[in-house]
Amino acid sequence: MPLNFGNDVDGSSRILLNEPRGSTAQVLLFGGQVISWKNERREELLFMSSKAQYLPPKIIRGGIPVCFPQFGNFGGLERHGFARNRFWALDDDPSPLPAANKQSSVDLILKSTEDDLKIWPHSFELRVRISISLGKLTVIPRVRNIDSKPFSFMFALRNYLHVSDISEVRVEGLETLDYLDNLKGKERFTEQADAITFDGEIDRVYLNTPTKIAVIDHERKRTIELRKEGMPNAVVWNPWDKKAKSIADMGDEDYMTMLCVDSGAIEPQVLLKPGEEWKGRQELSIVSSSYCSGQLDPRKVLYGD
């Protein structure tokens, strides 16, 4: 399908993806960032801060920012790396990925610049394919080492999910796993709960996670399924009320309708030799659920097709 373009307030381009039954997505060239994903009923599925700023080089809080070559403060670079506040380009050579049949998709690329090399001295090409189909949003990232020496990097897709009420949401699939708690100096713990529920700030990097995680939104009676490959970590974050009030580009009450459940390759980092390429894959899909007072069988959510 041909790409449709719109212009932002600064004159930069956003790409509009349309699926035949009515679902849509919007992608900015700034940051290579998905900023909207709507289902066929025009319901927004991604969270966007009520105070989001669309003026580069300001980051945009919401959607799906790309974190590279660092996640959070897990290194010496700026928080979440620099890929999310660079202008990307359309990728005219997206091979060797197969064609996105019956999907609306866009291929983007970010190449290291001289300024980037001053702060992170490694030559790279970062490619991302973003596709929508009925009820599904797929992001396929690839990192190629075009340097003469090996390098290590972190990568994450920060998924700002729009939920009805954070206190009525549960995350299943991460029980019994170890995690690093960013609120406690990255100390390592083991998840004890049967499912993650929310009554305060949470910021955790889960290790060795499964390929499928379920975010169950009780009020909307639907489940957001996150499937991922090549990204063994899952990050769960909600700032809650006190932290939300301290974030300049976030409304005081925004935390109530957002939840980040991220796909990542953070711990351990990815090591690439010269000429090597790493590839990940993430699929977000929406399924209806009859969840009511524990009637949903989590095994079907997590492992059923």
Range of the domain at 103: 4-291
pLDDT at 4: 74
Give Cβ neighbours of residue 182 (< 8 Å, ≥ 6 apart): 72, 203, 204, 205
Beta bridge partners of 202: 238
Element (H, E) at 226: strand 222-229
Is residue 81 assigned to a domain? yes
The model's pLDDT over 65-98, given as tens digits with 9 standing for 90+, comes to 999 999 999 989 999 999 999 999 999 877 666 6
pLDDT at 107: 95
Decide if pLDDT at 294 tops 60: no
Is residue 100 assigned to a domain? yes
DSSP 204-272: EEESS--SEEEEEETTTTEEEEEEEES--EEEEEE-HHHHHHH-TTS-TTGGGGEEEEEEEEEEEEEEE
Query: Of 243 and 94, which is predicted with more confidence?
Result: 243
pLDDT at 289: 72
Is residue 301 assigned to a domain? no
Whole-number percent of the chain with pLDDT over 70: 89
Decide if pLDDT at 106 tops 90: yes
Element (H, E) at 137: strand 136-145
The model's pLDDT over 217-239, given as tens digits with 9 standing for 90+, comes to 998 889 999 999 999 999 999 99
Is residue 9 assigned to a domain? yes
Decide if pLDDT at 126 tops 90: yes
CATH code for the domain in which residue 137 is found: 2.70.98.10
Whole-number percent of the chain with pLDDT over 90: 80
Q: What mean pLDDT comes out for the span 30-45?
A: 95
Q: Give the CA radius of gyration of the chain.
A: 19
Decide if pLDDT at 142 tops 60: yes
Is residue 303 assigned to a domain? no
Is residue 299 assigned to a domain? no
pLDDT at 13: 79
Report the SS3 class of residue 66.
Answer: strand
pLDDT band at 279 (very low <50, low <70, confident <90, very high): very high
Decide if pLDDT at 298 tops 80: no
Is residue 305 assigned to a domain? no
**What total of structural domains would you count in the chain?**
1
Provide the token pair at 184: 């406690």
pLDDT at 296: 43
pLDDT at 305: 44
Beta bridge partners of 87: 30
The model's pLDDT over 143-185, given as tens digits with 9 standing for 90+, comes to 999 999 999 999 999 999 999 999 999 999 999 999 999 999 9
pTM of whole model > 0.85?
Answer: yes
Decide if pLDDT at 5 tops 80: no
pLDDT at 97: 62
Is residue 302 assigned to a domain? no
Report the SS3 class of residue 119.
Answer: helix
Decide if pLDDT at 263 tops 90: yes
